[in-house]
Structure 1
Amino acid sequence: MTSRFTSQNKTTQQRLSTHTVGLVALSDFRKRRAEVIEQQEREARDAIATGTPLDTPERSRTGTPDDNTDVSNPRKKKKKEKKVAKGRGAKLSFADDDDENEGDENSGQGGDEPKDGEESGEKKLKFKANSSVSVVPRAVTKAALRREAAERETLRREFLMRQEAVKLTEIAIPFVFYDGTDIPGGVVRVKKGDFIWVFLDKSRKVGADLGVGEKANARREWARVGVDDLMMVRGNIIVPHHYDFLFFIMNKTAGPTGKLLFDYVSEVSESTLPKRSVDEQAVKSASTQPAVNSLEGALDDPTFTKVVDRRWYERNKHIYPASVWQEFDPEKDYQKEVRRDLGGNAFFYS
């Protein structure tokens, strides 16, 4: 018979020694060991449910360390054992009681104090104006809006006045008639706001007055010539009729050689601004016109501006210098262009 003082529950090692007799493979041993541990845990749960005391297997006996046990820190291990003992109702004394109590008191004192994050979360944040910003926005009121609208209107009128003054400013353009050779043509007076065809029409009248041409009835021939039959060649650029001089002056358009096509001033001085309306200023300027030699551009090189018969150009456009003339293209950058002849050969001179 079994002694009553003998434990009825076998340890893990005892059960393994019974169930692993004759095993050879390590996998079989692990499988049996897992089954034994599972059986012991099941018996422990049943004993707790029925209230029967049972010597449950400990993790230390199975060789499997507890997940919550930190082997490297024996201090935490002792504290855990103390908590387990208190849970079972045993009054035990440990040497670390004083240390733990001090830690609890410190933690209690620290827990009563609110954290920075909690304190900042409870208080409402107040934003103040940035004093480093130099520009202070103005209040948008009806009076401020009317004042800004009046200022814009004043600036718009001043700009239009200046633009009209620039357009009405007269300039002088010396030129030559060209039919393979330079024929002196004189100087034409135009305004910066005039179109190119206005200059060609005045040059046609100059040609008729001078009788330019080899024929005896040159004046009659010039009378038959229309503006569309003439071309203005500025440098090597054929300027279209529908452009005005102000376009080239304001944009400072340069030709292939880097020289401005129309090098005139794009602004007017305060003394020359019109004080009266445009019509009155035009009448006044018509009655008291300055001499053409005193106008801006009167001393320019006349050979830079050529008046050419379009029919002559169509017959000789394959011959130099007409072969290098090209019609003006506002989208083209002539400064980056490589000048070439009709055969595609690049010019090595400016």
Structure 2
Amino acid sequence: MSTPSDSRFTSQNQSTQERISSTTVGLVKLSDFRKRRAEVLEQQEREAHDAASSGAGTPAAATPDRSLTGTPDPNASDASTAARKKAKKRKAASTKLSFGDDDEADGDGGGEDTEGGKSDAASDRWNGHKGKSKFKANASVSVVPRAVTKSALRREAAEREVLRREFLARQEAVKSTDIAIPFTFFDGSNIPGGLVRVKKGDFIWIFLDKSRKVGADLGVGEKANAQREWARVGVDDLMLVRGNIIIPHHYEFLFFIMNKTRGPNNTLLFDYSNEAPPPKDVSDAAVDPLSTAASRAAKALQEMTSLEGASDDPTFTKVVDRRWYERNKHIYPASVWQEFDPEKDYEKEVRRDQGGNTFFYS
């Protein structure tokens, strides 16, 4: 039977790990475990101090604690082993749970905080590195981009609108400019036709319609009723041949003038200015009501002859009856006529007849 003194010595010889295991069974939080462990260590230190001061229990106090020295205890029970396993499981669970506040507050430097301490130190080093390596502006860039604001966008839009209106105004001025086109009627030979006054913005069919009226007034043709023949002919039955190029009806003169379109032999198809003329003085254009019809006609003719293009070669512009062309298109010069193609480069073209023979003359 054990004596009270034996139970006292047995309690004093109980290892630290066993005390911790017995007092922390059932705990879930890591903070509670650490608190209990600190209390057990503090209680054990007090007991050792009391035993040393009273002179009793010296052998037990001199005996080193196997849990602190790491020496395996042969008398350790299965309960202590199970307690250590539970402690390891709780430690593994604590690594998965978030005890960030407790880890920062804990300062005992235990083994379970080693990884956290390493990660904190690495984080501090990384933050310090980021603070030192700040991005700097490229000093080699000499042109600094201008900040685009709403007012700047509105100002640029207003400037573009002003330029657009100026361009349209100049284009309208060019389109409304009068020009004179001397021409001939062609039916195998050149028959003088006179002058036709058109605007640069007119279509080709407008010129052909005016030339038809000129032919009716002049009575061009071999028949006695040539005037009636020209009066009955339609615009679709007429063709405009400029040099050796047949100009389709739907084109505007402005298209060739603005683009400076060239035909064979590097010749401009319509050699007119693409700039608007200076404004005229309206006082000089006033009509005298006392002038006669003959004087007004003479003045109109004088004005037409002063127009741009009035002095051009009339044989360069031919008005041809399409029916005559269909009957004679295999005979020179109609055999070398070709319809205008905007995609074709006539400057580099090698001229050939319908048989494929190359022309060695212009």
Q: Could you tell me the TM-score, scaled by structure 2's length?
A: 0.57
Equivalence for 1:36: none
Write the distance in 1 (CA, Å) between the matches of 2:135 and 2:157. 39
Shift of 1:206: 0.2
Query: Does residue 231 of the first structure (1) align with residue 243 of the second (2)?
Result: no
Aligned to 1:124, the other structure's residue is in SS state coil
2:309 equivalent to 1:297 = yes
Match of 1:123 among 130, 133, 157: 133
Q: Give the Cα separation in 2 of the matches to 1:173 and 1:120.
A: 81
Quick one: which of 317, 321, 332 aligns to 2:329? 317
Give the Cα separation in 2 of the matches to 1:292 and 1:262. 18
Larger radius of gyration: 2
Tell me the amino acid that sits aligned with residue 252 of structure 2.
Answer: D
Counterpart CA distance in 1 for 2:137 and 2:167 is 44
Corresponding position: 1:257 with 2:265: yes
Tell me if 1:218 matches 2:226: yes
How far residue 258 of structure 1 moved from its aligned partner, in angstroms, is: 1.1
Determine which of 307, 320, 344 is the counterpart of 2:319: 307
Cα offsets for 1:178-217 (capped at 9, x unmatched):
0001000001000000000000000000000000001111
**Cα offsets for 1:155-185 (capped at 9, x unmatched):** 1111100010010011110000000010000
Structure 1 position 243 matched with structure 2 position 251:
yes
Partner Cα separation in structure 2 for residue 156 and residue 174 of structure 1: 35
- The answer to which structure has the higher helix fraction is 2
Partner of 1:337: 349
Mapped to 1, the partners of 2:218 and 2:175 lie a distance apart of: 29
Alignment of 1:4-153 (within 5 A): 122-130=132-140, 132-133=142-143, 136-153=144-161
Note closer, same or farther for the CA distance 1:165–1:195 as it changes in structure 2 (3 Å cut). same
Please say if residues 233 and 306 of structure 1, whose CA atoms lie closer than 8 Å, have aligned partners that are also in contact. yes
| Superposed CA offset, 1:97-147 (max 9, x none) | xxxxxxxxxxxxxxxxxxxxxx999432311454533xx433222221211
User: For structure 2, which runs of at least 5 residues remain unmatched after alignment?
Assistant: 1-128, 282-298
CA displacement at 1:273 relative to structure 2: 9.6
Alignment coverage as a number of residue pairs: 218
Report the identity percentage. 79
- RMSD of aligned Cα (Å): 2.4
Q: TM-score, normalised by structure 1?
A: 0.59
Q: Is 1:208 matched up with 2:191?
A: no
- Cα deviation for residue 267 of structure 1 reads 1.4
Q: Tell me what 1:186 maps to.
A: 194
Q: Distance in 2 between matches of 1:137 and 1:149?
A: 19
Structure 1 residue 272 corresponds to structure 2 residue 272: no
Q: Distance in 2 between matches of 1:132 and 1:148?
A: 24
How far is 1:306 from its partner?
Answer: 0.2
Q: Secondary structure in 1 aligned to 2:348?
A: coil
Q: Which residue of 2 aligns with 1:285?
A: none
